[in-house]
Amino acid sequence: MPGFELFGDLERKEVKEVTDTGVLMRYGFEGMRNGHWKASAMEAALCERMQVKHAQLVSSGTAALTIALASAGVGAGDEVILPTFTFVASFESILALGAVPILVDIDDTLTLDPIAVERAIGDRTKVIMPVHMCGSMANLNALRALCETHGLLLVEDACQAIGGSYAGKPLGSFGDLGCFSFDYVKTITCGEGGAVISNNQQYHLNADHYSDHGHDHVGNDRGAEGHPFLGYNYRISELNAAVGLAQLRRLDEFLELQKRNYTILRNALQTIPGLKFRSVPEGGIENYSFLSFFLPTEEKAALTQKELTKEGVDGCFYWYDNNWHYYRKWEHLTQLKTLGKVPIEVKEQLPDYSKADFSRSDHWLGRNISCLIKLTWTRKETIERSETMVRVIKKLL
């Protein structure tokens, strides 16, 4: 999945234009920057590629999630529904605002189960946050319908799924707000970076101000700019944006390689009786960053992952046992281990996750293996890998 594999001259050229001027900040210094505005250029390119009116480039995907929620007015005590299978950044961003993460079961899409989401909606629910893990999405039409019925916002965490689409729209552009990560191991990278996209001008203005200490960016004297509300510093640097700009221009090239390698593996694994693939909702197209499948039992899945690694098939994850991506190992969340005091709303409203029943999530994730797709594999290497995978899986099935 990572664009860093193909970091090259195009990225170096963009970075050199920044280092030649020495203007590393995205705002101001107009006279010195020789016309180079890499963050703004990447925002314009993102708007075009994602078919949205607004994009705000920021320092990380975690920042993007926090800013997206803040820009829509999410705050203390508001509840945000998110899946049990995600990266910890999802609940970190919610907690950063004093809002409350409400974990909900996944289904065979490996993302939010709309039936479980409906059951979790309450008086304080403000947002449904599907997380497009490993390159694919939930049934977004069903989630959108729930949002409309209950007056909620749909905020897409598309950090792992840039380039996928749903109902003809790029992932991230389907909801009220969408978030991307451009950290070092994402499909395209800035080194570190992220973005919030939307079609809502007010959310965009809020995101623009919030991510830069509340600066309203009116005029060209930073010291004289207004501060309509409190913000933080989630700015991206021009150096990071320069890398991302070059990578974004290459996104479709990367996706094509991912799709080719994914298809070789999938076609081979499809011949194995009893092996099931993650389901992709109708109208959805993955970004092909991972190939995810289910073994018949938890034991077989754990064993198969170990055996694949032993046989040299790297990058196949058994997320069920992972400390960062599945609720089972999030005792720092469930026991609210924080450095300082926790907002009272979080303390009072956070469900007692030690008693929660996420057996539906266990059912799917306990049997799942997700194998990442690399861009630099040749066709021959990918075929060889697929043959090894088929041999190992068949032996253990």
Q: Which residues bind ligand PLP (CB under 6 A)?
A: 60-62, 86-87, 89-90, 131, 157, 159-160, 181, 183, 194
Half-sphere exposure of 303 (CA within 13 A, CB side): 12
Residue number with CB closer to ligand PLP (114 or 193): 193
**Residue 17 vs 174, nearer CB to ligand PLP:** 174
Query: Measured from the CB atom, is 68 or 121 closer to ligand PLP?
Result: 68
Q: Between 23 and 85, name the residue whose CB sits nearer to ligand PLP.
A: 85
Q: Closest separation between CB of residue 369 and ligand PLP, Å? A: 18
* Residue 105, φ and ψ in degrees, nearest 5: -60, 155
Beta bridge partners of 102: 81
Closest contact distance (angstroms) between CB of 172 and ligand PLP is 12
Least Å distance, CB 396 to ligand PLP, is: 28
Whichever of 280 and 389 has its CB closer to ligand PLP, that residue is 280
Minimal distance, residue 34 CB to ligand PLP, in Å: 29
Handedness of CA 215, 220, 222, 227 (dihedral sign): negative
Q: Which residue is nearest to ligand PLP (CB)?
A: 61
With respect to ligand PLP, which residue has the nearer C-beta, 23 or 112? 112
- Least separation in angstroms between residue 184's CB and ligand PLP is 8
Closer to ligand PLP by Cβ: residue 81 or 393: 81
Residue 173 CB, nearest distance to ligand PLP (Å)? 17
Give the nearer residue to ligand PLP in terms of CB position, either 131 or 280.
Answer: 131
Give the closest residue to 325 by CA, choosing from 89, 85, 97, 108: 85
* 17 versus 364: smaller Cβ distance to ligand PLP: 364
At its nearest, how many Å lie between ligand PLP and the CB of residue 90? 6
C-alpha pair distances (Å), 166 with each of 156, 161, 237, 330, 352: 12, 11, 31, 30, 34
CB of 219 to ligand PLP, least distance (A): 31
- The β-bridge partners of 104 are 83
Task: Locate 264 and state its tokens.
Answer: 């070789």
* Cβ at position 106, least distance to ligand PLP in Å: 13
